[in-house]
A and B are shown apart, each in its own frame.
Chain A
Amino acid sequence: MQNNKQQELIPHLFRTEFRKIAAVLCKTFGMEHIEAAEDIAGETFLSALETWTYKGIPANPTAWLYTVARNKAKNYISRGRLYSGKVTAEIQHSIPASTEIEIDLSDENITDSQLQMLFAVCHPSISTESQIVLALRILCGFGVAEIATAFLSNKETINKRLFRAKEKLRLEKVQLEFPGEVGINSRLDTVLTTLYLLFSEGYYSESRDAVLREDLCLEAMRLTYLLIENETTNRPNVNALFALMCFHSSRFEARKAENGGLVLYQDQDEKLWNMELIAKGAYYLKQASRGRLSKYQLEATIAYWNTQKEDTTEKWENILHLYNVLLQLKYSPIAALNRTYALSKVRGKQTAITEAEKIKLTDNHFYFTLLGELYTGIDNQKAKEHFKKALLLARTITDKQTIQKKIDEILTD
């Protein structure tokens, strides 16, 4: 019994506590010791595994972990003092003697350290790709193997990317601190972009591991919520991004297919949509409305309309308008395609075909899927040709299956 319980408890604690210990230690040691902070956090869990197996689970496992982490941290510092050399000099320079320093694992310091870590990880000098991997490792406590699965990559590649990102943090001398009032807007923009991509990575991941996909999304939401809870970073665009994530994640259950694939929006059973998350999204969207119009606010409002499954003129006119504004603010191929789809709902397929043919996204399988949809019922032969082009360009099995189904369903003479 005890053993079973432990087998569940340790991975759970690892997920929730590793990142806290790592962030606090890194804050205490300084960013240049990020690897030591990670190592100590990791060793703490190894100790738990060894000790708990023999002595049983302590009454307060989290407090036990914190005590062990604290001691290991102090040992690390005094070891640094014992062996003279480069490391010692650095540590002595940056932190006081081990007897004096306090490893502060209070809730407040944990939150502050994690927030500052979020800003450090999303430093503009690091590529967005690396930011996401680093965030997953340091801020979300994901294992390298898990990250590799989520990105359909291998451990070696992920390790290399992590190494390079940490090297960059060291070289750029990125500090764990809040950006000043002046820089906060642009720094916050970078953080939001990374969180947005982290969420999308989970939401649109090609990985068949549904639990892992959802975990990525939930982690992105947790980190975004950290920003909402902090007064300085509780800005309208942060609320808008959080609202967007709530609306999307309300469809987690509904989009799960039995084979691990995805159920498309139009085929979803809306009874499976999570009403609580939809209400939450509406609340944060309202909070967001006090600021200037942001990309996230527009996307969240579109996502809000998509929580209304019924096709109404009001719904599609609003969606079309929102895409018109969104595209003026920031062009993206997917927004251009979705705008054209909304146009077909408001002004009919013929108008939408004319506009679609102008946007010429000929390397995008969604473009040909859209043209296929628009031509269906108008010129089925042409529709089929477009779907076939889409099939050639599609890369994932889910996409290929979806398109093939459309080809099979279409009636041609």
Chain B
Amino acid sequence: MKEFMLIFRHEDGSKVASPEQIQVWMKQTMDWIGGIAAQNKFSGGNGLPFDNSRVVWHNNEVTNGPFGEIKETIGGYIIVKAESVDEAVEFAKGCPVLQGDGNSVEVRRLVGKEDDD
């Protein structure tokens, strides 16, 4: 069993959704993660809110917000257990973030997390 990080990429992080819409997404996300956890394949994860965020640049220059010139942002991630990258990709396909046009989920293997079995 390996571990993969599924990173939620939002095409435009400056878009603001209504509280009702956020509520619906939250519920969908919980159901999606619950489904993975029900297969005992959930390892961890977190949302990455925009408040209290900074970007530290070369020469230690600090800016507010991760946006800068690029609009794309990372909204959160989960870590899943999977036999292969293909299995992890199948999990990623159910991610509610993908309902947004232009959004994506990046699937990356974690180093040093392989079991023998």
Interface residues of A (CB under 8 A from B): 317, 320-321, 323-325, 327-328, 331, 335-336, 339-340, 343, 347, 355, 358-360
Total residue contacts A-B, CB cutoff 8 A: 43
Alpha-carbon distance between A316 and B65 when the two chains are bound, in angstroms: 39
Interface of A is mostly: helix
Q: Which residues of chain B in 1-56 are interfacial with respect to chain A, using CB atoms and an 8 Å cutoff?
A: 27, 30-31, 33-35, 37-40, 42
Alpha-carbon distance between A162 and B40 when the two chains are bound, in angstroms: 35
Alpha-carbon distance between A324 and B30 when the two chains are bound, in angstroms: 6
Given the contacts A355-B35, A358-B35, A327 and B30 also touching, CB distance less than 8 Å: no
Q: Is the CB of A343 within 8 A of B37?
A: no
Given the contacts A328-B42, A331-B40, A320 and B35 also touching, CB distance less than 8 Å: no
B39 to chain A, nearest CB (A): 5
Q: Is the CB of A328 within 8 A of B34?
A: yes
Alpha-carbon distance between A196 and B38 when the two chains are bound, in angstroms: 22
- B37 proximity list for chain A (CB < 8 A): 324, 327-328, 331, 336
Alpha-carbon distance between A336 and B31 when the two chains are bound, in angstroms: 12
Given the contacts A355-B35, A358-B35, A336 and B40 also touching, CB distance less than 8 Å: yes
- Choice from A324, A358, A359 contacting B33 with Cβ under 8 Å: A324
- A340 proximity list for chain B (CB < 8 A): 38
Q: Is the CB of A339 within 8 A of B34?
A: yes
Q: Is the CB of B30 within 8 A of A321?
A: yes
Q: Is the CB of A336 within 8 A of B39?
A: yes
B77 to chain A, nearest CB (A): 14
* Further contacts, 6 of them, CB under 8 A, given A324-B31, A359-B39: A324-B34, A327-B37, A327-B42, A340-B38, A358-B39, A360-B39
Alpha-carbon distance between A361 and B39 when the two chains are bound, in angstroms: 9
Alpha-carbon distance between A327 and B30 when the two chains are bound, in angstroms: 11
Interface size on B, residues (CB 8 A): 11
Q: Is the CB of B42 within 8 A of A339?
A: no
- B33 proximity list for chain A (CB < 8 A): 324, 328
Alpha-carbon distance between A335 and B38 when the two chains are bound, in angstroms: 8
Most buried by A among B31, B38, B39: B38
Alpha-carbon distance between A131 and B80 when the two chains are bound, in angstroms: 34
Most buried by A among B27, B31, B34: B34
- A355 proximity list for chain B (CB < 8 A): 35, 38
- Choice from A317, A321, A359 contacting B38 with Cβ under 8 Å: A359
Q: Is the CB of A336 within 8 A of B42?
A: no
Which residue on chain A has the smallest CB distance to residue B91? Answer: A358
Q: List 24 A-B contacts (CB under 8 A).
A: A320-B34, A324-B30, A324-B34, A324-B37, A327-B34, A327-B38, A327-B42, A328-B34, A328-B42, A331-B37, A331-B38, A331-B42, A335-B38, A336-B37, A336-B39, A336-B40, A339-B34, A340-B38, A343-B31, A347-B31, A355-B38, A358-B35, A358-B39, A359-B38
Which residue on chain B has the smallest CB distance to residue A317? Answer: B27
- A347 proximity list for chain B (CB < 8 A): 31
Which residue on chain B has the smallest CB distance to residue A328? Answer: B37
Alpha-carbon distance between A340 and B30 when the two chains are bound, in angstroms: 13
Interface string of B51-76 (1 = CB under 8 A from A): 00000000000000000000000000
- B40 proximity list for chain A (CB < 8 A): 331, 336
Alpha-carbon distance between A328 and B80 when the two chains are bound, in angstroms: 11
Alpha-carbon distance between A320 and B31 when the two chains are bound, in angstroms: 8
- B27 proximity list for chain A (CB < 8 A): 317, 321
- A339 proximity list for chain B (CB < 8 A): 34, 38
A332 to chain B, nearest CB (A): 9
Alpha-carbon distance between A324 and B42 when the two chains are bound, in angstroms: 11
Most buried by A among B27, B30, B31: B31
Alpha-carbon distance between A328 and B39 when the two chains are bound, in angstroms: 11
Which residue on chain A has the smallest CB distance to residue B34? Answer: A324
- A320 proximity list for chain B (CB < 8 A): 31, 34
- B35 proximity list for chain A (CB < 8 A): 355, 358
Which residue on chain B has the smallest CB distance to residue A340? Answer: B38
Name the 3 nearest CB pairs between A and B, nearest first.
A324-B34, A327-B37, A336-B38
Alpha-carbon distance between A344 and B35 when the two chains are bound, in angstroms: 12
Which residue on chain B has the smallest CB distance to residue A331? Answer: B40
A311 to chain B, nearest CB (A): 19
Which residue on chain A has the smallest CB distance to residue B26? Answer: A321
Which residue on chain B has the smallest CB distance to residue A355? Answer: B35
- A323 proximity list for chain B (CB < 8 A): 34
A96 to chain B, nearest CB (A): 55
- A327 proximity list for chain B (CB < 8 A): 34, 37-38, 42
Alpha-carbon distance between A359 and B35 when the two chains are bound, in angstroms: 9
- A335 proximity list for chain B (CB < 8 A): 38
